[in-house]
Amino acid sequence: MGRMEGRNEINFGNATILALGKAFPHQLVMQEFLVDGYFKNTNCDDPELKQRLTRLCKTTTVKTRYVVMSEEILKKYPELAVEGLPTVKQRLDICNAAVTEMAIEASQSCIKKWGRPISDITHVVYVSSSEARLPGGDLYLAKGLGLSPETKRVMLYFAGCSGGVAGLRVAKDIAENNPGSRVLLATSETTIIGFKPPSVDRPYDLVGVALFGDGAGAMIIGSNPIRDIERPLFELHTAIQHFLPDTEKIIDGRLTEEGISFKLERELPQIIEDNIEGFCDKLISISGINDREYNKLFWAVHPGGPAILNRLEKKLDLSPEKLSASRRALADYGNASSNTIVYVLEYMLEEKKDITDWGLILAFGPGITFEGILTKNLTI
């Protein structure tokens, strides 16, 4: 399509994704059992709230999720299930350790697939909206992996659902401006930072209970892959970011004495629908593609929720299979915030029958911020 045709040819100098990895906590939650378990663990018996959560669990299309939260944690910290208690210290104690453990595991999996020594990693980009500490999780990840103290680190905190693609954009810039570098991008998230009992005063909290999951993701990014050693998956051609003025309250998160409080406004899917076509057209036009045949592209979209995917599909008139990897990731892992784009890309590679030469990696987060990368598939 357009002047950028070419199959499986690498543009040397452009960053490529060289490997993917993921990790999860041990606790698997089946969506059909979530409602009873959540209300039992929070000692709530409000039938109206229970009915509302039951409906939400069906509409989110999530089937399974992994979570750090467990009965053991609630026995040790029963105050986490009580309304209004200052529990941010306890939450951060749990979250800081959990996200580091998952990030290390995902990174080790990724490095193993990459096939080069861990000592060849020159940079780390670490993304999380689930911890807060000094030094940050980037240092604990580097230490846990046994990276050189000379490894250069960048940390992105509280970028929310767009964090994974924002981190990929930063890793791309680092790789392309530091010849020979190899960048480890790691993302790690847990919902414990915002776990709360149900409340009639916060009905929007139930959306998060029905939708969000925990886990970690990792990628290795570098330019000029070494033939016969590295196996590039995607070339990252062009990356852009755009925030929508005066929408900063649509995705609102605050760190309080009770942990993080999130509020998602109902108009979020509509705002994304109203702006997605212009954003994608800008990304495509910057890159030199001279038509807008969206169904000739593959679409790796962060699955913020089914309403966002449905509206994007309708607005751009995409064939249903174009978002199948995003829908599959949402069903299997929930919205795992910054991690989820890794799971989408893995499923996309599995579903090779639907992946074309060129595509877009997209995510939407607080701001409202749009992140997009024009990407070339190198596996076909």
Q: Is residue 182 part of a domain?
A: yes
pLDDT value for 128? 98
Task: Write out the catalytic residue numbers.
Answer: 161
End-to-end Cα, the chain, rounded Å: 16
Do residues 249 and 211 share a domain? no
- φ/ψ region of 8 (left if φ > 0, alpha if ψ in -120 to 50, else beta) reads left
Do residues 129 and 209 share a domain? yes
Q: Is residue 294 part of a domain?
A: yes
Instruction: Give the position of tokens 């807008």.
Output: 292
Q: How many domains does the chain have?
A: 2
Do residues 184 and 246 share a domain? no
Do residues 325 and 363 share a domain? yes
pLDDT value for 290? 63
Q: Are the C-beta atoms of residues 171 and 185 closer than 8 Å to each other?
A: yes
Do residues 76 and 215 share a domain? yes
Do residues 71 and 192 share a domain? yes
Q: Is residue 122 part of a domain?
A: yes
Show which of 223, 254, 270 is a domain's final residue: 223
What CATH number does the domain containing 36 carry? 3.40.47.10
Given a cut of 50, the residues of the chain with pLDDT beneath it are 1-6
Show which of 174, 201, 223 is a domain's final residue: 223
**Model confidence pLDDT, tens digit, residues 236-260:** 999 999 999 999 999 999 999 999 9
* Spatial distance between the Cα atoms of 9 and 127, rounded to a whole number of angstroms: 30
Do residues 208 and 238 share a domain? no
Q: Are the C-beta atoms of residues 190 and 95 closer than 8 Å to each other?
A: yes
Q: For residue 122, what are its two tokens? A: 């020159």
Do residues 190 and 242 share a domain? no
* Spatial distance between the Cα atoms of 183 and 232, rounded to a whole number of angstroms: 14
* Spatial distance between the Cα atoms of 235 and 322, rounded to a whole number of angstroms: 19
Look up the domain containing 316 and give its range: 234-377
Q: Is residue 207 part of a domain?
A: yes
Q: Is residue 1 part of a domain?
A: no
Do residues 287 and 267 share a domain? yes
Do residues 363 and 247 share a domain? yes
pLDDT value for 186? 98
Do residues 201 and 288 share a domain? no
Write the CB contacts of 258 (distance below 8 Å, at least 6 apart in sequence): 84, 85, 86, 87, 88, 196
**Model confidence pLDDT, tens digit, residues 105-164:** 999 999 999 999 999 999 999 999 999 999 999 999 999 999 999 999 999 999 999 999
Q: What pTM does this model have?
A: 0.95
Q: Is residue 165 part of a domain?
A: yes
Kindly list the strands in the beta sheet with 234-243, ordered across the sheet, starting from the edge strand earlier in the chain: 152-157, 123-128, 183-189, 215-223, 15-23, 234-243, 369-377, 358-365, 298-301
Q: Is residue 228 part of a domain?
A: no
Do residues 203 and 252 share a domain? no
Show which of 171, 192, 223 is a domain's final residue: 223
Q: Are the C-beta atoms of residues 244 and 237 closer than 8 Å to each other?
A: no
